[in-house]
Amino acid sequence: MKVSVVQFPGTNCEYDTEYAFKKLGAQVEIIWHKETKFSEDTDLVVIAGGFSYGDYLRSGAIARFSPVMQAVQAHAEKGGKVLGICNGFQVLTEAGLLPGALKRNEGLHFLSKHHHLKVATNANMFLEKLSVNDVVNIPIAHHDGNYFIDEEKKQALYDNDQVLLHYCDENGNISNPNGSVDAIAGVCNKAKNVFGLMPHPERALESILGSDDGIKMLEGFFA
């Protein structure tokens, strides 16, 4: 399993991501945003969290024009696996690789805490090691995690089984921290090879740090 982790100016989770996938047995390389290609044997491209370009224009809006994104696009178009975490999710929506958009949290505050998520579907490689309605405890850390999509496109997400996760409480009841439409915490593309979520599964690999629920999420990519 070969994982390439994209690094932009302002990225701050690339080393957490590298650690997580190495812990699970993958070979990992960090790719600077000015690169125009990945190793040919790359299985999964991860766009890590942080504040690419300081989020000075809009989260992910500048990063989506970096040279490396042409390689990400090409990898996705040939069926390669892509995962965007937090700012990476924002970048993928800005690049048109995932539907919807991320805007300022409803409460206008930066959120940094563990939060529960309910699995909406496991009919994809990312969540196939979990069951529908499983509840996991995963850290969130974002200011612009309010997922928005219009009604017509939202219905298409449900019709195509593209809604991955909902924010919830420990009992699985909806608990929406940021105002996201339908408390959506993550989605995938129609082909189910590009995934994005605001929570950080790479920070949930060791119970001593609060949760190891991220293991089953990331292990899905090794199948």
Q: Which of 14, 18, 94, 202 is catalytic?
A: 202
Q: Are 70 and 34 in contact (CB under 8 A)?
A: no
Is 86 a known active-site residue? yes
Which pLDDT score is estimated for 40? 86
200 annotated active-site: yes
Instruction: Quote the domain boundaries for residue 46.
Output: 2-222
What element of type H or E holds 159?
helix 151-159
Predicted TM-score of the model (pTM): 0.96
% of the chain at pLDDT higher than 90? 92
User: Does 66 score more than 90 pLDDT?
Assistant: yes
* Dist. CA 197–CA 120, nearest whole Å: 13
H-helix or E-strand containing 139? strand 135-142
Among the listed residues 13, 18, 86, 142, the single catalytic one is: 86
Distance CA 17, CA 110 (A): 21
The mean pLDDT value of the chain amounts to 96
**Separation between Cα atoms, residue 87 and residue 194, nearest integer Å:** 15
The whole-angstrom separation of Cα 157 and Cα 159 is 5
* Catalytic (active site) residue 166: no
pLDDT confidence band for 69 (50 / 70 / 90): very high
Q: Stretch 84-98: mean pLDDT, rounded?
A: 97
CA distance 165 to 174: 11
When divided into structural domains, the chain yields a total of: 1
> What's the CATH code of the domain at 17?
3.40.50.880
